[in-house]
Amino acid sequence: MIDFNCNPVTYIQRLNAHIGRCMCVMPGERTVPYAQQGKDTWVLCRGHIEGNLAKKLFPGDDMVLRPLQLQWGGELQLYARLRQRKNGQGVVAKAKLTCLGIPGANPNKVLSLRYDWDEGKPSGNGWDDDLGDNFEHPWHHFHVNFDLSNEANELRMPLGPACMITFLRAFDYWYCKTFNPT
C-alpha cells in the first residue's frame, strides 16, 4: 500500500487534475470516474472493470468501461481501489495501469506496458492471453511488451508500490516525445 497525505476524494481530484493535463490523452477523454464502495473504500476506473461491478458501482455510466484514448494511437486503462484510514488519510490499496495498442512505429518498439499492484495473493487459471501475463508473476510488477521476439517480452520487473500520478506523468512525457517530438 502507498499512503498519501489527504483523504481519498482529494487524491482522486488530484489524479484527475493530472490526467486533465496529459497531452497524450485525447481531449474530452481526460477524466476518470470514481464511486464509493462501502464506508471507507473508493474505486476509480477507465476500462479496467468487470461489467457487473461497473453496473453496481457506476449505474448508467458507460465511461468506466471505455479506456482513455491516446492521441496518436493506443489506449490507457486505469483502475484503483483507495481506502481511508481511521485518521482520515488515504492509501492506494490496489492499482492497475495498462497501455495497449501503442503504435509500433516507435524507436523503442514498445507495443504495450502495464503496472500491476495487487492487493492480495495472485489468483487465476494461468495466462492472460491478451497481455501474455501469468498469475504467478510478482504482486507488484511492471511489464513491457516489445515488437520483438517472445524472449524480449519477458521483462517483468518486480517493484514496490508506485505513485499513479508519477507513472502517468512519466508515460505522458515518453509518449508525447516519441510520437509528437515538436
Which grid cell sits at 101? 495498442
> What is the per-residue pLDDT for 43?
93
Q: What share of the chain has pLDDT > 70, as a percent?
A: 77
> What is the per-residue pLDDT for 72?
93
> What is the per-residue pLDDT for 51?
72
If you average pLDDT over every residue of the chain, what do you get? 82
Phi, psi torsion values for 151, nearest 5 degrees: -60, -35
Neighbours of 150 (CB within 10 A): 9
> What is the per-residue pLDDT for 110?
87
Q: List CB contacts of 65: < 8 A, sequence separation 6 or more.
A: 47, 49, 51, 54
pLDDT, one tens digit per residue, over 138-175 is 566 777 777 776 666 666 666 766 788 888 999 999 99
Give the H/E segment covering residue 91: strand 90-100
In this predicted structure, the answer to whether residue 94 has a pLDDT above a threshold of 70 is: yes
Taking Cα atoms as reference points, which of 138, 42, 58 lies closest to residue 91? 42
- Please state whether the predicted TM-score (pTM) of the whole model is above 0.85: no
